Structures are given as structure tokens and as C-alpha cells.
Structure 1
Amino acid sequence: MILKRLTLLLSFITTCSFAQTPNQIQPYTYSQYQKLYKSTYDVKTRSHTSLLPYFKEDSLTYILHDSLLRYGVDTNKKKFIPRKLFNEHLIDVKKEDFTAYADFLPDFTVGRDFKTGKNLWLNTRGFQIGGTVGDKFSFYTSGYENQAVFADYLERYINTNEVVPGQAYDRSFGKRTKDWSYVSANISYTPVKYLNIQLGQDKTFIGDGYRSLLLSDYASNYPFLKLTANLGNVQYMSMWSYMSDPRANRFSYDTGYRKKWGIFHYLDWNVTDRLSLGFFDSIILSDRDDQGNKRGFDFSYVSPIVFLRPVEASNGSPDNALIGFTAKYELLKWLTVYGQFSLDEFEADNFFAGEGSSRNKFGYQIGVKGFNLLKIENLNFLVEFNSVRPYTYTGRAPIINYAHFNEPLAHPMGANFNELLGILSYSWKRFDFEQELVYARYGLDGGLINYGKDIYRSWLYPAQLTGNFIGQGIKTNFYFSNTRASFLINPKYNLRLETELTLRRESNAQIIRNNSIISFGLRSSFRNLYKDF
């Protein structure tokens, strides 16, 4: 409750006055951050690259961020309208101890799915406000009012989960035109150069890949308190968050959706100029017991440096623990290999027996990424493989699974899948081009039988105790291709003209679903909107 009230106070404060300086957080989007590969993955910088979003002053990225955001500025242009349209914030105030900016963020698209004959559109009106006070305090907020008609696969997802993917609760109650709001806010305070304190309603991404098997930015925003320490070669993060579970049985209308806490720790260590290793642990706990008695926050987890799993075990193992590891090695000047391993449950006998126990709950990722492919400036790429065993991220009860507001906190496909994806990006002046290809194979749950795909089903009732394998259940093949081209109008708030061609196919013995979508739009935002699942 205290954290929720502080977040509401944050939202109020951040709508009053604001700006942009080196202390500020740069909102994370893959398409923008991949332009930083050359700087962040250079062995000379020894950057901490796996905790996102970045601080602008970290790892020499401020210079590049500033260059990116100021790209195309023509100091000879003196007229107000050309400056505001192509190079500047709508409102931009710069004082000695105070800076502030504000922008209107339109996001309008029209399109058509030629396989289903459905016309599609998105109508979003948004804003962003940011700023700093002095050299230790910064803040940012953005908000969007949205209406849209989505492709049929997204419409089914929204009707089932009651949430627009990664954004917010759908107010349409099953209608064809979806209606929702999306708000983010962040206050950042750096009392000393080694420590940053954040309070916000937003997301955190951990990893060097496009997906994360530890903590991703896929699910909706949640309120959090985050401490980040930077001690040279070591970066350490502790975060306490407050999440919701609309699927869990409500004890009364007055208590609203069931709530749960998430505690996350992550340490990133630059061992050498080329090698980085990371350790992650987390706990998910419900704020009420099964009888509806209020439990509140468990102060056993309040220490920012404690190992969470032993504490959870000493409490009688009432909660859901997840640990993980990350690694990154800069193989060549332009090429980096990276990986992750997430471990949801470990029982040595089952883990090493190789019998496909339902208690073997883990996933791994391996990938390569680089810049200036074939020595072509600004041609960046990523190739990644993700694999997650059945029943990973599930809990003894759904309320303590690894999810928030009906969506996974890690990979959008949940569990019981293999996925191979590749992304090729190229930038030339104000033009951006991107091609994404995804192939996945997974097993869907069949009716009442729990094959381990749906992380909202309890691991206590698997389809079988042994003999489990990735893809069990209704074997499904998934293909996805997205080709995007855009022209950047104003880099300060990512205003661009954009066109996309999306091809999607999902098939198994029961269904074949095809989508062939083309869209055009005037877009502006700093947020990831995932639809590749």
C-alpha cells in the first residue's frame, strides 16, 4: 500500500514540470538500443549492458544517446516551426539547475489483414514529460489513451487475458474495438555517483538478448522501488515490486484483484574487458494466504543483498523462487556471444536422472549479436535461440507464478517451447529498416490436461510425473516475419512515418491460422509493443 501511494505521488509530481540531462533514464526500445551496439559492446568501454533501461551517463552511452537524439539538428534553422517539427521538443526549457521538456506523442496506424479480410487501425494520443532538478534528480512520465482494432490472433489473446499485450487492462469487455490506457512514470535520484534510487511505474529488462528468460519488459507496467549500485566492474540491482493477478479468485469485490510482491536481485560483473558474468535471483509471494488472511510484505526479503532462496526455504518455502545466470563474451571487435540460464526448481536426483521429471523446470538462451555486418556501417544483427522446459515459471498456486496481470514476466510464450529468431537492422540518415524472423515449436495444453505451456496452471498436477519433454501436448509450429521501414521526422520524441508487412502462421493438428498484414502509420513513442508470439 505504501509503495502504491508513493507511485501515485510520483505520477502527480511528474506531471508538473520536467527535462532531459545525463542523469536521466533513456526509455528502452529494442529498435533504438540496437543502434548503441557499436558503443556499448566495444571492449574499450567495459560497459554494463544487461540491465535495461540504461542511465544515459553509463558506459559512455550518454554521448551516443545525445548524438542519437540530436541527429539531424541544423543550427542554421532559426524558424520556430521547422525546429519544432524536425529537431526539437515541443516544449524545451533549459536552466542552470533545472531542465524540462514535453511532447505530444501521436501513434496512428491503418492496415489490413489480407488473409482474414479484416481492416485494422490504431488511434493513440500520448504525451511524454521529463526533466531534472540539479545534477542528482531526474524524472520522466508518459501516458497514452488508445483505441484499436487488432488482428484476430491479438484479439483472441486480449479477450482471453483481458489485457492488451504488455500494456494495460482492456476496457472493451470483449468488443471488437479495444480501449485501454497506458501510463509510465519514473523518479531517479543519485545521492552519490555509486548509487541510484528509482521509484516508478514501469518495467525492467535483464539480459543481452531480444528475449529474456529472467525478467523482460513484456508484461504490463508495475510499481517498483529499485536500488542500483555501480562499483566499477560490478553493477548490482535490487528491486521490490507490487503486482496484480486478475485470474486468481477474489475474496471480495472490495479487495480488488489479488496482489503479490516480486523481489529481484541482479549482479553483473565485468570479469575482463571481454567477459561479463551475472547472477539473478527472485521471489514471488502473495499478500494473502489461501484463506484470504492478509499476509502483507514479508520483511525477511527486505535486505537488498541477501540470497533470496535460502531465506524463502527458512520460511518454510511458501513462495516461488527463481534463480538465473547470464554471460557475455565479446568474441571479436564487432561480434558478441551471450547467454542465460533460468532455474525454477532444482532437485538433484530428478535433474540429473534424465527421466523428464516435471520438477525439471529450467530454460536457457544462447545468442550472437553484432554491428557493422560485412563492414557496412549501421548494419546490426542478432540471432538467438531460446528453450524453456514444461512447467517452468509455474507456482504451487497460480497466485505465486512468475507473471503479472495475466502475462509472463519472462518470455511471452510462457513455457514448453523452443524458439529461433533473427533480427537484421540498418540505418541510413533518417531511414531505418528492420527484418525480424521467428520460428518456434511448442506444445499447447489440451483441455483439462496440463502439459506445461500455461504458466497459470499449478505444477502440482502435471500430465505425467516423468517422461516430459519440450513440445509435448498439441504440437504446434509458429512462423513469424515482420518487415519494417520508417523515416524519422523528429528524433527527440521518435516521430516517424512507418510501414510494416507482417506474416504469421500458427498450425497444429487442430488449427491452421494465417495472417498477412500490411500497415502504414505516423508513430511516436519509446516503448516495445510485442506482437511476435
Structure 2
Amino acid sequence: MKYFLLLPLFLTSIFVSAQDDNSFIETYPQFPECAGIQEELQENCFKRNFTSLILEKFQLPEIVSSENYRGTQTVIFEVDEEGKFMIVYQDAEFDELKNEMIRVFQDLPIIKPATYSGRPMHMQFKMPLRIPLNNNQPILEEIAAEEKAIIAASENDVQKEKVKEVKKPGIKKQPDDNYVDKPISEYDLIKSEKFTSPRYTSEINIPLSHEFYGRFDAEFNRIGTNTHAASKPLLFSEVNKYYNFEAHRDALLQDRRSWGGRKLWNEHLIRFQTDKYWFTLDAGFDLQLGKDFNDNKHSFTYNNTRAAIIQGGLGKNLNFYSVIYENQGRFANYYNRYAESIRPAGGDPAIIPGRGIAKTFMNDGYDYPVAEGYLSFTPSDFLNIQFGHGNNFIGDGYRSLIVSDNASPYPYLKLNTTFWKLKYTNTWMSLRDVRPEVTNSGSYRTKYMANHYLSYNVTKRLNLGFFESVVWENDNDRGFDLNYLNPVIFYRAIEFSTGADGGNAIIGLTGKYKLSNQGYVYGQWLIDEFSSGDIFGGEGSWKNKLGFQIGAKYFDAFKVKNLYLQAEYNQVRPYTYSHNSFVLNYGHNNQSMAHLWGANFREFIGIARYRWDRYYGNAKIIYGKRGFDFENTGDKTNFGQDIYRTEDDRALENGVEIGQGNTTTSFYTELEAGYIVNPTTNLKLFASFIFRDFNPQANTINTFKNSTSWINVGLRTDIFNWYFDY
């Protein structure tokens, strides 16, 4: 049995309540019967044709009729940019009513979409449906009457204009372009056009995620490309020339027609775009539940992160990005112990590595808010300027010995200059020393770091990079020393000119050689202090504070598509990154700005990654030899691992070697498998397993033999690297 449906609501709400004022619309959604009619009748024509289709197709479910039900069913729907009718939301007491409405909408034709400035746009409507339906029959007559009234008013206006022309003959006065003869609503003109994913061609940073960067590493480093991959994060615009982000994302999209389905599986939560600006807003998550099988005190580990992520562009040259995290968590015992061992002054219980200072949550957990963001300005094709709060990374490997992203976010100003075969990166940072020994009047000690990194493509296969860095503090109230703003001068010269302890300078060299389009080798060489006489003297002087890295990557390994293999070796000699002054170490918030193990170590790393459609898997193995201090019983007990200890307390002058002191072997393996829920936001459902074995020569308060088996399942928006391999 067919019934009249929805009719009284069309005139009062369905076609206007979701849009309030339709003055921004150039053309309404059009059925074929509405083509060519005058503009004033487009809305009514759409109402009449839509109403007729609903009356023809909708059948009231028997359960609703039999119970003599009276109530309201609310339906929000839209006509999208392709002219398809799509239900966004339904609210009804009976599922049968919802199912019938879905059936009717699936049977509706595709029509011409609404347009604004000549561009197709989606238009949304709200439809409260009153039941019973037998009171709706007169509505078509009301629609027809309204159409007649519009036509009559239009004809009357035409007649009035003719009378005016007769009464006022002569030359017409030309309209003044600055004169508005009737009120308009600028607010209602602010409407989104078709969203074209401008992020992928913008100057927004690609979030630091080893798994995500591994997807385009091969394309970005093909033989003959004039690219520079070491200075990270990279911009979407510089990578999109070689790797089509949108095409790869679109290949993963699912056929989701409902609003909720599209937002969860395919799209940004909120997106807005005009020809002048755009922005998106997303909710981020890191919801984890796990078990440390070696922790007998707690049943579970957990992390509860909610985040708001906003990014966009204003014009062609200015982009912005901001994310605010609210976090609570408790982790495996070894990780909790390390977080508490680097606690700041002031009574807070821990610093969550890579995130920030934490306060106590529910007695045995941590609450640690984090905020990151930046402005990215590109005044020319050669220069990008960023000012923000976040992390940076320099290198082609999993680790970096010169600048890594394992420390807490920090304020920075960065200039990337790219031309010819060069990319030159200048970064200035404000860092904190939060130890009780240096805290003054309740505030943490401020220090500054400035970096230069020059990347040069020597040939189509070989890339070399030259790095220098200096750390200085606000001694003698000099604040940010303007000497270090010079983007080309050598920092070592300034360090000498400002005094013996004016700064702590480090230099380094990076290199990469492309063996083929399927792989390359890379490396780093770090010099904190270099004494040629001591090196060639063969006595193993403590002054030879050096480190180096060598590694290789293999893409589509063994002809298996999307199989990524990586091997890496790192070693850093004792006392590297430390300084004879108390503050001028290479650290921030009690964490290293380079390798997360500090110094006095060597490690081997093996990594495998695989992707298929939305599924992925990672495997990582790390074996290392590390040298810690014994119990601190006085002076001369520093064996060179802790970069925050002054090198004046060194235990040895000569015979210094890696692993000295409390020699410790460390084994770490991590397996992770997951499913990419939303490829646009990189939301992942995952499960992971971590095994860690830590075996020192002697047990101390913070360094003692322990073994950990830790399993986790979770839902995570993967937009930063979180390291658990301490």
C-alpha cells in the first residue's frame, strides 16, 4: 500500500532547515523535469519531484500500521557532488522504518547536483517524518499553489519594470559597482566547494612515521632523482612529485555511502575548501590495552590518548598544522622505570620519553599532555620557513646520530633552502634542562641549539651531507646569541670567539649511495671532539668522542612487492654528546637529541616491513652492547654513557672503549601487525608483541637484569614515532 510521505515538512523544514538561507546556491539540485525553468522556481520544482518519488516508492511497514503508531522519524540526507541521494543519519523507533527509507533512497535516480560559482557542491537536508502519513495528501497542492504565487509575483515585477521604463524615458544610469541596493549575507556565502585533498600538494610536513615514510622511500630515492631525503620531516609537496599520495590513498578507499562510513573509513572528519583556503579537522586516538607478563603487581598496561588535529592552507604560500593530545597511560615495567629515572625537578613523577612531563594519574599511571604545531611559509620556490613546536630528524636510517625525534617536542625555527643540487637546512631550537641541580627558582634552565645541514647530490647516485651544531646557554644574560643566526658561518669559530665554555659544537658527515632503484646504502660520521694526536697515538683517549652509522635498505626485496628490508649498525664512543660544563650537553628534557641510548654503545638493527592493501606487518630486532655507570660512590665514576654527567668526572683518561663500565647486553624484538582503518588520517588497528632482555654485568638501582614480554592491542592515529626500544 502506497502512502503520502514527508509532505508537510518540506515547506517548513526539509528543504531549508539544513541550509537556513539558500542565497549562496547558484542552481538547486535538478531533476530532468526542472531543467530550463526560471531560477525562482528551482527549489519548488525540486520539492515537487522529490515528493512525488517518495509518494510513489515508500511503503509503510506492516508493524508500524498494525500498532497504530504515532511519532516522528528524522532523516538527514544530502545530494552529493555527483547528484546521488545519500542518507547521512536516521532516528526512528522501528528499524523497519529505517530499512524502508534506505530501500527508497537506493532506488532514487542520480540527478544534477547543486552548484556554486559553477562548481558542483553537496547540499544537505533535514527531514522530520510524522506518522501516521494519511494527513499529508494536501501538500502537493500547497507546493503547486506556492509555485503559482511565485510566477504571479514574477509577472507583476516584470509589469512594474515596464511601467517604470514608460514613466522615465531616456538614458539609463549605469549601476555603481560599490552600491548594494539590497542586503546580502556574507556569512551564508562561506560554503565549501569540492574537496580536492590539497594537503598532498601543500607545504605541510609529512608526519614522522617510519612505516609511512617506508611507503614512498623507493620512489623518492630512484637513481637520477634530484631529491634530498635526510632532512626530515619532508613536505608533501616535495615528495608528491615522485609518489602520488592521492592515487595510493584512493586505491585503498572503500565503497562507503553513509556519512559515518565515509568519515570512519575514508575521509577527514571535517573538511572545507574554497579557491582561497582550506582546512581539515580530525579526531586522533592512541587507545592501547596490553599486558606485561613480568609485572605481577598490575593486571594490564594501557594508554588512552585523544587528540584534535587541524591543518590547512591560507592562500598558496601559508600552511598550518596543530595537534593537541590528552593522554593517560601505564606501560611495561622497564619503560615506567626509565620514565621515572628521568623525572624532572618539582615533584612530577616522570617524563614519558618522546612525549613530555607527566603527573600522577590514579596512583600508578601517568597523565602527560602534549601539544605540537607549526606555521609553514613558502615565499618562493626555493625557500620554506617553519616556526613551530615539534621534532626534527636528520638521516636516512632508523636511528640518527646527529638529530633524532626521540626527545620531547621543542620550539624551533627552520629554514629549508633548495636549489640546483643542494638543500640547506638551518634550524634554531630552544631546549630545557629540567634536572634539580640546574633548576632556578622553580623554572627550568633554558639553553639553545642551532644546526646547519647541507645536502649535496654529487652524482645521480651519490649524496653527501655536511652537518654542524652548537649548544649554548643563557649565561651572562646573553639570551639567544645573535652570532648563531648567521646561516653560513662555521659554529666552531663562534664557539671559540664566545669563550672556552661558550658553546658545545658538533660536526658530522652523512652519505648515501643508490645501488639500484631497489636499494641504497647510507651512513653517518659524528665528531664531538677530535684529537688526531690521541687517535694516531693508539692510547684510546677519552677525547676521541666519535660515532658512526652504516646501513642498507632493500625495496621489493627478493621480487616480493611491498616487502621492505633494512639493516643498520650504530656505535658511539664514551663521553660523546657530553660537556665539561653542567648544561651544555646534547640533550633536552633529560633525553638525548641524538641516539636514545646516549653514548658508549654499539647496536645492530634489522627491520622488515610488508604491506598488502590495508594490511601491514612490521618486525624489528635490535641487539646491543652498552656501558653504564656503577653505583655513584663519588668522583671519577663516569664511564661515558650518561650524556648529562660532566666529562670532568670521567673514570678513564686512556684505554677508553665502547662498553666500558657496567657492561650490558641488550636484546629487543618487536612484532606488529595491523589494519589501516582510514588511509587519509593513517588510523590503524594493531596488535604488537615486544620481548626485551636486559643483562648488565652488575645490578644497580636503575640498571639490573630483567626480562619483559609485553603484548598490546590498540587503535592508533600514526602521526609520530614512539620508541620503546630503550
Asked if TM exceeds 0.5, the reply is: yes
| 1:75-90 paired onto structure 2 within 5 Å | 77-90=256-269
Query: Where does structure 2 lack aligned partners over 5 or more consecutive residues?
Result: 1-196, 344-350, 699-703
1:281 aligned to which of 465, 468, 472: 468
1:308 aligned to which of 467, 480, 491: 491
Partner deviation per Cα, 1:489-521 (whole Å, 9 max, x = no partner): 101211121000110000023332000111111
Partner deviation per Cα, 1:26-77 (whole Å, 9 max, x = no partner): 1111111011122112113232110111111214457433334444225x64
Query: Where does structure 1 lack aligned partners over 5 or more consecutive residues?
Result: 1-17
Match of 1:442 in 2: 626
Alpha-carbon distance in structure 2 between the residues aligned to 1:372 and 1:116: 40
| 1:354-369 paired onto structure 2 within 5 Å | 354-369=538-553
| 1:83-482 paired onto structure 2 within 5 Å | 83-117=262-296, 118=298, 119-162=300-343, 163-172=351-360, 175-247=363-435, 249-250=437-438, 252-253=440-441, 256-288=443-475, 293-317=476-500, 318-448=502-632, 449-482=637-670
Alpha-carbon distance in structure 1 between the residues aligned to 2:548 and 2:561: 31
Q: Which has the larger radius of gyration?
A: 2
**Secondary structure of the equivalent of 1:172?**
strand
Cα RMSD of the aligned pairs, angstroms, is: 1.7
1:298 to partner: Cα distance: 1.4
**Secondary structure of the equivalent of 1:57?**
helix
1:67 aligned to which of 223, 231, 247: 247
Task: Give the letter for the 1:408 counterpart.
Answer: S
Q: 1:51 to 1:149 in 2, by over 3 A?
A: same
1:461 to partner: Cα distance: 2.0
Task: Give the letter for the 1:269 counterpart.
Answer: Y
Aligned partners of 1:19 and 1:139 also within 8 Å: no
Alpha-carbon distance in structure 1 between the residues aligned to 2:620 and 2:365: 27
**Secondary structure of the equivalent of 1:169?**
strand
Partner deviation per Cα, 1:403-422 (whole Å, 9 max, x = no partner): 01100000000000000001
Alpha-carbon distance in structure 2 between the residues aligned to 1:417 and 1:286: 28
Aligned partners of 2:474 and 2:480 also within 8 Å: yes
More helix by share: 2
Q: 1:244 to 1:173 in 2, by over 3 A?
A: farther
Alpha-carbon distance in structure 1 between the residues aligned to 2:293 and 2:567: 29
Aligned partners of 2:222 and 2:516 also within 8 Å: no
Alpha-carbon distance in structure 1 between the residues aligned to 2:355 and 2:198: 24
Match of 1:15 in 2: none
Match of 1:483 in 2: 671
The TM-score with structure 1 as length reference comes to 0.93
Alpha-carbon distance in structure 2 between the residues aligned to 1:398 and 1:146: 32
**Secondary structure of the equivalent of 1:28?**
coil
Match of 1:529 in 2: 722
Query: Is 1:28 the counterpart of 2:216 in the alignment?
Result: no
Aligned partners of 1:103 and 1:127 also within 8 Å: yes
1:21 to partner: Cα distance: 4.7
Alpha-carbon distance in structure 2 between the residues aligned to 1:521 and 1:376: 28
Larger RCO, structures 1/2 (Cα 8 Å, 6+ apart): 1
Q: Which moved more, 1:392-401 or 1:504-513?
A: 504-513
**Secondary structure of the equivalent of 2:647?**
coil
Q: Which moved more, 1:486-495 or 1:403-412?
A: 486-495
1:394 to partner: Cα distance: 0.1
Alpha-carbon distance in structure 2 between the residues aligned to 1:283 and 1:63: 35
Task: Give the letter for the 1:99 counterpart.
Answer: W
Q: 1:459 to 1:65 in 2, by over 3 A?
A: farther
Alpha-carbon distance in structure 1 between the residues aligned to 2:646 and 2:658: 17
Partner deviation per Cα, 1:372-425 (whole Å, 9 max, x = no partner): 001111001110000000000001123110001100000000000000001100
Aligned partners of 2:287 and 2:714 also within 8 Å: yes
Match of 1:500 in 2: 688
Alpha-carbon distance in structure 2 between the residues aligned to 1:135 and 1:70: 24
1:365 to partner: Cα distance: 0.1
1:250 to partner: Cα distance: 4.1
Q: Which moved more, 1:479-488 or 1:38-47?
A: 38-47
| 1:13-24 paired onto structure 2 within 5 Å | 20-22=199-201, 23-24=203-204
Identical columns (%): 36
Alpha-carbon distance in structure 1 between the residues aligned to 2:383 and 2:223: 24
Q: 1:175 to 1:77 in 2, by over 3 A?
A: closer
Aligned partners of 2:627 and 2:641 also within 8 Å: yes
Aligned partners of 1:21 and 1:132 also within 8 Å: no
Q: Which moved more, 1:364-373 or 1:239-248?
A: 239-248
Partner deviation per Cα, 1:85-120 (whole Å, 9 max, x = no partner): 111000011211111101001211111111234421
Partner deviation per Cα, 1:249-292 (whole Å, 9 max, x = no partner): 346325x100000000000001111100000000000112xxxx
1:19 to partner: Cα distance: 7.4
Alpha-carbon distance in structure 2 between the residues aligned to 1:338 and 1:168: 31
**Secondary structure of the equivalent of 2:648?**
coil
